[in-house]
Amino acid sequence: MAGTSGPGPGAHGHIPVLLDRCVELLTPALTRNSADGSGAVLVDATLGAGGHAERFLSELPGLRLIGLDRDPDALWIAGERLAPFADRVLLIRTRFDGLDDALAKSGYWATGSERPQVDGILFDLGVSSMQLDRSERGFSYAADAPLDMRMDPDADLTAADVVNTYDEKTLTRILREFGEERFAGRIAKQIVRRRARKPFARTGDLVELLYEAIPAPARRTGGHPAKRTFQALRVAVNGELDALRDVLPAALAALKPGGRIVVMSYQSLEDRIVKNVFSAATASRTPPGLPVELPGHEPEFVSLTRGAEKAGPAEIETNPRSASVRLRALEKVAANPGGELS
């Protein structure tokens, strides 16, 4: 493997998760026509600080990359990092479920007779290291900051809006469904009671309430007591799960035959959605009960991983944020359910 150009994978406060494994999984699809990636297009649908993108562009000098992110700060940082490859990089500000529109606007970058298609797609889901490290964004419970949590700073809805205006029943549902918080009802009731005296404005105010609302024995296990509530609010503010459900079918359709997709998720709700979509994509279309596979009904995709892969101990020690990652990957085979080339 060639060495990387530029500041390297630890620059910009960002260590890409499972970087070597992502390269191993996606490179065969990107080098099918040329060893240097010429003619191939990779979509980094969650560009962040550009760590994964930098590695691919460094090792494949013919590769073109389309990077998507809703966060203008991320696009600016990634743009600086990827400046040495500027003629091979197209950056688009959009949430990842804007994939179809982004490809349609990409011109010659993504080609296809009926719809634009690409050779590889990478998703690195959840909040980025860069966003967590910038306390003023309000994603972290470790530092007092405005209660914001918007991945797109121009979006209207903030975590403070959710906490201060949603009724108790809705808050309970959000905490239970998006955070898998078993004390959701208790927390929601105390939020409503507290905000009647003074609206929540900062993360520290919410963390203080959570310490009071969650019983002491429960606070001693399962990580920080604010972890699940902050996850739930972030998911609600940014519409993450709905966006993921919408984009995965579009991403699979956007792959050329032989193309590959890698998705890294960091919490069970995300991974469950990915698992279900991938399971359906790799299932036979032959009606149940028939003894043989019907021609043209073979699965359109094959799995490249056995279940969800995790980071190893060495990576977790170097990059603790990789501890919760779950990676799944598919390859699009040549024949679609109708038996013709996709």
Region of poorest pLDDT, from 118-127, 148-157, 226-235, 280-289: 280-289
215-244 pLDDT, tens digit per residue, is: 988 777 767 888 899 999 999 999 999 999
Residues comprising the binding site? 50-52, 69, 96, 124, 131
Residue 296 C-beta-side C-alpha neighbours within 13 Å: 3
Q: Which residues contact 266 (CB under 8 A, 6 or more apart)?
A: 125, 126, 324, 325, 326
Q: Label residue 151 by pLDDT band (50, 70, 90).
A: confident
37-77 pLDDT, tens digit per residue, is: 999 999 999 999 999 999 999 999 999 999 999 999 889 99
Q: For residue 209, which phi and psi values (nearest 5 degrees)?
A: -65, -40
Residues comprising the binding site for S-adenosyl-L-methionine? 50-52, 69, 96, 124, 131
Asked if pLDDT for residue 114 goes beyond 90, the answer is no
Q: The dihedral of CA 28, 33, 36, 38: what is its sign?
A: negative
**Average pLDDT taken over every residue of the chain:** 87
Domain extents for the chain?
18-126+251-332, 133-238
* Predicted local distance difference test score (pLDDT) of residue 59: 97
Going by DSSP bridges, is the β-strand pair 41-44/64-69 parallel, antiparallel, or unpaired? parallel
Place of tokens 């996850």: 231
Higher-scoring residue by pLDDT: 104, 287: 104
Three-class SS state of 44: strand
Q: 7 with 78: CB under 8 angstroms?
A: no
CATH superfamily of 18-126+251-332: Vaccinia Virus protein VP39 (3.40.50.150)
At how many degrees (to 10) do helices 168-179 and 184-195 cross?
Answer: 140
Asked if pLDDT for residue 341 goes beyond 70, the answer is no
Asked if pLDDT for residue 181 goes beyond 70, the answer is yes
Place of tokens 């590959």: 260
Three-class SS state of 38: coil
Three-class SS state of 188: helix
284-305 pLDDT, tens digit per residue, is: 776 776 666 666 667 899 999 9
71-81 pLDDT, tens digit per residue, is: 998 899 999 99
* Predicted local distance difference test score (pLDDT) of residue 216: 86
Round to whole Å and give the CA distance between 287 and 75.
46
* Predicted local distance difference test score (pLDDT) of residue 5: 36
CATH superfamily of 133-238: Putative methyltransferase TM0872, insert domain (1.10.150.170)
Q: 5 with 58: CB under 8 angstroms?
A: yes
> Fold identical between 18-126+251-332 and 133-238?
no
Round to whole Å and give the CA distance between 121 and 247.
11
Burial of residue 329 (number of CB atoms within 10 Å: 0-12, 13-18, 19+): buried
Asked if pLDDT for residue 113 goes beyond 70, the answer is no
Q: Label residue 2 by pLDDT band (50, 70, 90).
A: very low
Instruction: Identify residue 176 by its one-letter amino acid code.
Output: R
Q: Label residue 329 by pLDDT band (50, 70, 90).
A: very high
Q: 77 with 12: CB under 8 angstroms?
A: yes
Helix (H) or strand (E) holding 24: helix 19-30
Round to whole Å and give the CA distance between 145 and 236.
19
